[in-house]
C-alpha cells in the first residue's frame, strides 16, 4: 500500500470539511475505517501493510479488539500466517471469550483500527500480561492523538486532529456548512 491516506480518502473513509462528531464537538476531519474496509481488496492490502513491519518478529498470534479491529486483525494474521483472536467488551470489561486464550511466552501482536486515547488497548495489554504473553508491539491503521504505550506502536497514518467546542469552532466562524457523517448534510 503506497499511500494509505490516499487509499482511504479515495474510498470515502477519510474526509476533510466540517463535521459534527458523536461527542458533540466539531472537527475538520472525519475518519470511518470500515467504509474503506468494506472492500475486501482494501482490507487485504491494509492487513499486508500492517504486517510488513512485524514480519521478522516471529509473531505467533495476532490479537485484535472487537469490533473495529477484527477485520484488520484477520487480514494481518493472514499476511503473517499466524492465528488471530480478538478481545471484546462484555459487562464493561475487555476480555477474551469464545474459547480464545494465549499461553505464557506466546509472541503476540496487537492490531487495532483507530487508537485515540489507547484506553481499550491498555486494557487488552493488561489481560495479555496476566496470561504471560510476550507482547511484541501494536499495529494500528490510524493513531489519532498522543497515546503512549510501553510497547512499540506502528501506525499507517498519524494525525493530530483537533476537536472544537461548537462555541469556539474556527470552521463555524468561516461559515463552512456543518455535516454529520453518514447522514444528511445540514447547516
**Would you say 92 or 182 has its CB closer to Zn ion?**
182
**Using the rule CB under 5 A, is 21 a contact of Zn ion?**
no
What minimum distance in Å lies between the beta carbon of 177 and Zn ion? 10
Binding status of residue 169 toward Zn ion by CB under 5 A:
yes
**Nearest Cα to 62, choosing from 53, 52, 74, 71?**
74
Task: Work out which of 45, 131, 171, 179 binds Zn ion, going by CB under 5 A.
Answer: 171
The least distance separating Zn ion from the CB of residue 22, rounded to whole angstroms, comes to 15
Distance CA 13, CA 114 (A): 12
Q: What is the largest CA-CA distance in the chain?
A: 56
Cell numbers that stand for 166 in this block: 461548537
Q: In the set 4, 8, 13, 26, which binds Zn ion (CB under 5 A)?
A: 26
Phi-psi sector, 50: left (phi>0), alpha (psi -120 to 50), beta: alpha
Provide the minimum distance between the beta carbon of 164 and Zn ion in the complex, in angstroms, as a whole number: 6
Asked if residue 163 binds Zn ion (CB under 5 A), the reply is no
**Shortest spacing between CB 141 and Zn ion, in angstroms:** 26
Residues that bind Zn ion (CB under 5 A): 26, 169, 171-172
Amino acid at each position: 500500500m503506497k499511500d494509505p491516506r490516499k487509499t482511504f480518502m479515495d474510498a470515502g473513509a477519510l474526509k476533510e470539511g466540517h463535521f459534527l462528531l458523536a461527542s458533540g464537538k466539531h472537527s475538520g476531519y472525519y475518519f470511518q475505517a470500515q467504509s474503506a474496509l468494506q472492500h475486501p481488496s482494501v482490507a487485504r492490502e491494509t492487513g499486508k501493510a500492517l504486517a510488513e513491519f512485524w514480519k521478522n518478529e516471529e509473531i505467533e498470534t495476532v490479537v485484535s479488539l472487537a469490533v473495529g479491529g477484527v477485520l484488520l486483525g484477520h487480514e494481518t494474521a493472514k499476511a503473517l500466517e499466524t492465528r488471530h483472536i480478538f478481545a471484546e467488551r462484555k459487562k464493561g470489561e475487555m476480555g477474551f471469550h469464545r474459547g480464545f486464550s494465549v499461553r505464557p511466552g506466546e509472541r503476540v501482536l496487537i492490531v487495532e483500527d483507530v487508537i485515540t486515547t489507547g484506553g481499550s488497548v491498555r486494557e487488552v495489554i493488561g489481560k495479555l500480561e496476566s496470561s504471560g504473553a510476550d507482547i511484541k508491539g501494536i499495529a494500528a491503521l490510524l493513531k489519532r492523538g498522543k497515546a503512549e504505550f510501553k510497547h512499540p506502536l506502528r501506525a499507517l497514518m498519524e494525525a493530530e486532529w483537533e476537536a472544537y467546542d461548537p462555541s469556539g469552532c474556527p470552521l463555524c466562524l468561516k461559515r463552512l456548512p456543518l455535516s454529520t457523517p453518514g447522514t444528511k448534510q445540514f447547516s
